[in-house]
Amino acid sequence: MQPDDIGPESWAPDGDLLGLIRELSSVAAPTGNEDRLTAAVSSWSSARGWQQQVDRLGQVAVSVGPEDAGTAVMLVAHLDELGLVIRAIEEDGWLRVHRLGGMPERVLPALRLVVHTAGGDLPAVVGSKAHHLTDASEKYVAHPATDLYLDAGFSSAADAEHAGVRVGDPVTYAPSWTEFTGGRFSGKSLDNRVGVAAMMRALTDLAEDPPDARVHVVFSCLEEFNLKGTLAMAERLRPDIALVTDIVPATDPPDLSGQGTSSLGLGPSLSRLTFHGRGTLGGLVPHPALVRGVEEAAGATGVPLQYDAVIGCLNDASYLPMATAEGIAAVSLGIPCRYTHSPVETAQLSDVEHTATLVTEFARRAHAFDLSRGAAQTAHGIA
């Protein structure tokens, strides 16, 4: 899907939020190549006459509230999605790949994908050994992505190259969408299009009734690759406060019972700890004043609030506290999502709606947050 096909002027976050999420999900924005969604969000913002900046990384920042406000707030949701990248074109036309971000190998065989070339999009499938000829020792094995191959219908490397395929081209899940009962829905790249949709609705509300703080709503890039895109925006905007909205793995399916606390339909989750725990020191313990700020905003709006502390997850908040010499007070909210990083991520509309309401109220209260540490924080007790 090209940017001109999206019709961003018709996006109405204050109306059909589910339709907005469906449209966002359909757009291909592999990490490092987010231009289609960058263009769409920028066009949507421009059509409303809002002040915005688009940086060299493809990140969009829309600013509302007084320019001379004493407090600057950055609200963040990332545009990009995980994928694959073509690493080799074999002589007989098979395409070999590397992972681009955390695409899970165990879901890949027999999936429909899209290869994004300079000349356009090409359908492909991931090869899967014929069941009739699969040895019993292989039937329950997940092979690494480097062992897999893509079939795009080519008979030779020359065919692939003639079609425009080059080493380095990104690959994404083919778009899919399913609506269930009870406001639940499934599609690809809900991580983090549900966060983008929530932030678009919050921005719409804040633009109509500007807050006392200077609020910069940032649609970031490169989250799924190295989490560094937001650092550039932090340097540009110099916020005092950052709130990141992303997904959090829902642990209500039976195979995750007892492994977490987030469930669909119970509202956004306030992350008290994120830590990767797999060879990196990235993560976040949120600023205590912002924990209270989220809780007070939830209480004022009646938004149900969950809590999580997750090892194995990172988001755009992970490195923000150290992005400026003064330090940035940071916190993150998670929208519960099942089957994360798969092509059938599943979420609930009410959680997105509640997240947008909570983010908006948080931004309205941010000018009054006391970010000082020491005695000012211990007066509230620990946490």
Active site residues: 223
* Distance, CA of 250 to CA of 178 (rounded, Å): 18
Residues contacting 258, CB < 8 A, separation 6+: 251
Provide CB contacts within 8 A for 156, sequence distance 6+: 91, 92, 93
Judge contact between 329 and 92, C-beta under 8 A: no
**Residue given tokens 């989750």 in the structure block:** 269
Q: Please, are residues 244 and 77 in contact by the beta-carbon 8 Å criterion? A: yes
User: What's the CA gap between 366 and 110, in Å, rounded?
Assistant: 48
Residues in the chain: 383
Amino acid identity, position 106: R
Q: Are 268 and 255 in contact (CB under 8 A)?
A: no
Q: Which of 88, 84, 79 is nearest to 36 (CA)?
A: 79
The count of C-alpha atoms lying within 13 angstroms of the C-alpha of 118, restricted to the half-sphere facing its C-beta, is 7
Contacts of 242 (CB under 8 A, 6+ apart): 73, 74, 75, 76, 234, 317, 320, 328, 329, 330, 331
Tokens of 21: 């999420």
33 cis-preceded (ω within 30 degrees of 0) = no
- Whether the Cβ atoms of residue 318 and residue 230 lie closer than 8 Å to each other: no
Closest residue by Cα to residue 220 from 237, 208, 233? 233
